[in-house]
Chain A
Amino acid sequence: MTEAVRTQGLFKQFGQQIAVAGVDLVVPSGSFAGLVGPNGAGKTTTLSMITGLLRPDGGLAAVDGYDVWRDPVQVKARIGVLPEGLRLFERLSGRELLIYSGRLRGIPKADVEQRAGELLGVMDLEDAADKLVVDYSTGMRKKIGLAAALLHNPSVLFLDEPFEGVDPVSANTLTDVLRRYTASGSTVIFSSHVMDLVERLCDWVSVMSGGRIVAQGPLAEVRGERSLNQAFLDLVGGPRAAGGTGLTWLGSKAAEQ
């Protein structure tokens, strides 16, 4: 089994707070991998460190066998990224954004224009292609971000919460594109806390909690006999009972009468 991503003891601290406490993430090549965990588990920090956007305080990260911090040329040519928070060049139109992103990587203009046109078509963004990204809705921004991440045909794709705030139609488009992409042998790693989605799409799951990987492996192994949602709740510490005391006033007004 070749590995698309492997980290060893990846560690990051912000002031007193330890965000990532020694993560050993493994993702086999060609898999559709989900990185799941509650808010604040360190998913975004981990992905930022693997993609070279955030300097780790300790540990190693490698993509396709190349060290992220020692061999950035090889790594950056191989990865595509959709970071959290949809940070895009707001004052370019969708088409201009794709063309800029491709040409910055040295792809000839004619090729970039052709690829951008096709991506805009697949993402159903043709009508909005010449509008400024600042005026895009959340779903459109995720789609144009994904298009920009795919433009240079990376072999590993990192997506941070790609489906958050996306309408069902756009989400369907995104999953179609990603499925087609992994079917060709490329790797997708995405973070999410929507378990149904991870269960439906992924064949590999890594569960993070408190800055560590608490479970990792093929989907079937991690969830066992349970649903992934239940497995997740068991792993990260189950639901605290919402019944009992408190919130007695909450509910139908009719009951009071």
Chain B
Amino acid sequence: MSTALLFAQLKFRLIAGNLRGDVQRKLGFAFTLVAAVCVGGFGFLLMSLMRLAEPGLAADLTVIAFTVFFVSWAVVPLLAFGVDDTLDPARLALFPLRTRELAVGMFTASATGVWPAATLLITAGALVGLATGPGGVLLGVVAVLLQFALCLVISRLTTTALSSALRSRRGRDVLAVAAIFVVLLFQLPNLIANRGFGDPAALIESSAAVLRWTPPGLAAHAIADGGLAGVADLVALALVVLLVGWLWIKALGRALVTADASTQAASVRRSSGIIDRFLPDGPLAAVVTKELKYITRDPRYRIGWFASIVVTGVIAFSIAGDNPGARGPMAMVAGPAALGAMMLALQTCNAFGIDGRSLWMNAMAFGTERGLRTDLAGRHVASALIAVPLLTVLVVAVSLFAGNTGAILPALLIGWGVFGVGLGVGSMTSVLIPYTVPDRINAFTGAAPGQGGQAFAGSFAGMIAIAGLSLPVVLPVVLGVGWVAVAAVPYGIVIEILGRRLASSLGYARLPEVLAAVSRPT
């Protein structure tokens, strides 16, 4: 018992520690608190309102909701690994605790906190929403507690079993990219519902019929049933909780004495790439080669590029999807092309951010602003090598989707041109508003502590400038004067050259300051 108390206190200390940090941390904590209270309260309300629905539907919805909580608890703490110190058994390995005590303690620590409390509250909402009669309430209380315990042990099992992989560099890399997929996964039901794949009621019924036999489904069913079948449900559920708990303790025992995998490093292929063979030997080729390697190897690049492709795709198809098949006007294709080009070009608006502390190597090699100009040019070539084919695919797909193949060529020219404008603007923001990109990006910030303002200003200024500078070529085309598209690419190239020249002369003069801005501790 004292172990449980100790761990609960530890968790409270860790939470309270947030109040002692700087303003940003306090704000972050206050935001979390408010969010948890809102989610908890609102969730409780929603669950209790199920009472107003037809009982069969209410039971089905609760089954689905419980399953969603279960999956979220299994997955989300994985993404937060390294944030919560009580999640990592290695932090506690040196304390003289038996595995049993450790398990009790870590379980308590999991149950302590704002999000567990919110989960318990929402789950308890099902009592109000579903339970009928005293039997239902009685079974319901047990079911809610078991469901809550199940969420906790499953989250512990996944983090513990994967903890050694998560501590390795490769594991964290995979996880960083996986985070995006998880976000998309949670968007999936939304998309399915909006796209009108079948009748929503039937969809709910058929998925609930399957999910009802999963452990969280058993809990939900027990509350709704309230009879002997409910008791059977709960016995099965309790067995599952015990089994998962036992697995967790086994995994914990193993994790404490197993070395992490971080020392096993794989080799990379020894090749400088195809592009290198086509470029004249020199600094430009070196930068292009290095930048292309970084884009494929650094998860931060992967996240950035992937996110901009997804956002562009979603926007493009929702614009074009308003009247599919119809011969849409030029704007339906050229608009998304320009937008996609801007999204991709925004990736270059903090060109030195990911180099971060290693940028000194470039700074040491550049004796004149010509060096910086070459560096920016190399980065632009590398970005264009990826963005131009992507834009081409996007434009062709969108125009086929909109049924306007005549728009392909002008829209392509517009997309490429805007991308050129974006590169020119990006080199300016890179030297004027540089900021550090932390090793681990989360959903809330893409900048080092204290540089959130710069990050926002950088992308916002970049966006405004790209939009403003692109208008002279984009606007006529969108309004129907298609031949102006011919000027888009030369225009984009001119802006790129001007922007890069100006940026390198400004940037070279303030290279130490740029270096300091991108080398902030994260």
Determine whether the beta carbon of A104 is less than 8 Å from that of B286: yes
Given contact pairs A51-B364, A148-B361, A131 touches B283 in the complex (Cβ within 8 A): no
Report A-chain residues with C-beta under 8 Å of the C-beta of B367: 72-77
Interface string of A100-134 (1 = CB under 8 A from B): 11011110110000000000000000000011101
* Separation of A57 and B519 alpha carbons in the complex (Å): 20
Interface string of A144-181 (1 = CB under 8 A from B): 00001000000000000000000000000000000000
> CB within 8 Å of A: which of B289-344?
289-290, 293-294, 297-298
B522 at the A interface (CB under 8 A)? no
Chain B interface residue count, CB cutoff 8 Å, equals: 41
* Separation of A106 and B374 alpha carbons in the complex (Å): 11
26 contacts between A and B (CB under 8 A): A52-B363, A52-B364, A52-B512, A53-B360, A53-B364, A54-B516, A55-B512, A73-B367, A74-B367, A76-B366, A87-B357, A87-B358, A87-B519, A89-B290, A91-B294, A91-B297, A92-B290, A93-B267, A93-B270, A95-B270, A96-B290, A103-B282, A103-B285, A105-B283, A132-B265, A132-B268
Report A-chain residues with C-beta under 8 Å of the C-beta of B293: 91-92, 96
* Separation of A209 and B17 alpha carbons in the complex (Å): 35
A83 at the B interface (CB under 8 A)? yes
B365 at the A interface (CB under 8 A)? yes
Known contacts A104-B287, A104-B371; 15 further A-B pairs (Cβ under 8 A): A53-B360, A75-B367, A76-B366, A92-B294, A93-B270, A100-B289, A104-B283, A104-B286, A104-B361, A104-B365, A106-B282, A130-B267, A130-B270, A131-B265, A135-B262
> CB within 8 Å of B: which of A178-214?
none
Choose one: B263, B281, B298; the contact of A103 (CB below 8 Å): B281
Q: Report which A residues bind B (CB closer than 8 A).
A: 51-55, 72-77, 79, 81, 83, 85, 87-93, 95-96, 99-101, 103-106, 108-109, 130-132, 134-135, 148
Determine whether the beta carbon of B268 is less than 8 Å from that of A87: no
B169 at the A interface (CB under 8 A)? yes
Report B-chain residues with C-beta under 8 Å of the C-beta of A54: 512, 516
Determine whether the beta carbon of B368 is less than 8 Å from that of A104: no
B222 at the A interface (CB under 8 A)? no
* Separation of A92 and B263 alpha carbons in the complex (Å): 17
Determine whether the beta carbon of B283 is less than 8 Å from that of A53: no
Determine whether the beta carbon of A53 is less than 8 Å from that of B297: no
Given contact pairs A103-B281, A104-B287, A148-B361, A131 touches B268 in the complex (Cβ within 8 A): yes
User: What's the minimum C-beta distance from B267 to chain A, rounded to whole angstroms?
Assistant: 4
Determine whether the beta carbon of B281 is less than 8 Å from that of A89: no
* Separation of A122 and B163 alpha carbons in the complex (Å): 38
* Separation of A83 and B359 alpha carbons in the complex (Å): 12
Given contact pairs A104-B286, A108-B281, A88 touches B294 in the complex (Cβ within 8 A): no
* Separation of A17 and B515 alpha carbons in the complex (Å): 21
Interface string of B347-366 (1 = CB under 8 A from A): 00000000111101111111
Q: Report which B residues bind A (CB closer than 8 A).
A: 169, 262-263, 265-270, 272, 281-283, 285-287, 289-290, 293-294, 297-298, 355-358, 360-368, 371, 512-513, 515-516, 519
Determine whether the beta carbon of B365 is less than 8 Å from that of A105: yes
User: What's the minimum C-beta distance from A128 to chain B, rounded to whole angstroms?
Assistant: 8
Report A-chain residues with C-beta under 8 Å of the C-beta of B297: 91, 132
Nearest residue, chain A, Cβ from B362: A104
* Separation of A93 and B265 alpha carbons in the complex (Å): 11
Report A-chain residues with C-beta under 8 Å of the C-beta of B298: 91
* Separation of A108 and B356 alpha carbons in the complex (Å): 26
Top-8 shortest CB links A-B: A135-B265, A73-B367, A103-B286, A87-B357, A91-B297, A130-B267, A104-B365, A55-B512
Choose one: B263, B355, B365; the contact of A89 (CB below 8 Å): B355
Given contact pairs A104-B365, A132-B297, A87 touches B286 in the complex (Cβ within 8 A): no
* Separation of A96 and B286 alpha carbons in the complex (Å): 10
* Separation of A83 and B360 alpha carbons in the complex (Å): 9
* Separation of A83 and B269 alpha carbons in the complex (Å): 28
User: What's the minimum C-beta distance from B375 to chain A, rounded to whole angstroms?
Assistant: 8
Report B-chain residues with C-beta under 8 Å of the C-beta of A51: 364
Report A-chain residues with C-beta under 8 Å of the C-beta of B515: 53
* Separation of A100 and B362 alpha carbons in the complex (Å): 10
Nearest residue, chain A, Cβ from B285: A103
User: What's the minimum C-beta distance from B512 to chain A, rounded to whole angstroms?
Assistant: 4
Nearest residue, chain A, Cβ from B281: A109
Determine whether the beta carbon of A93 is less than 8 Å from that of B360: no
* Separation of A52 and B513 alpha carbons in the complex (Å): 11
Report B-chain residues with C-beta under 8 Å of the C-beta of A55: 512-513
Given contact pairs A103-B282, A132-B297, A85 touches B357 in the complex (Cβ within 8 A): yes
User: What's the minimum C-beta distance from B323 to chain A, rounded to whole angstroms?
Assistant: 45
- Chain A CB count within 10 A is highest, among B290, B294, B297, for B290
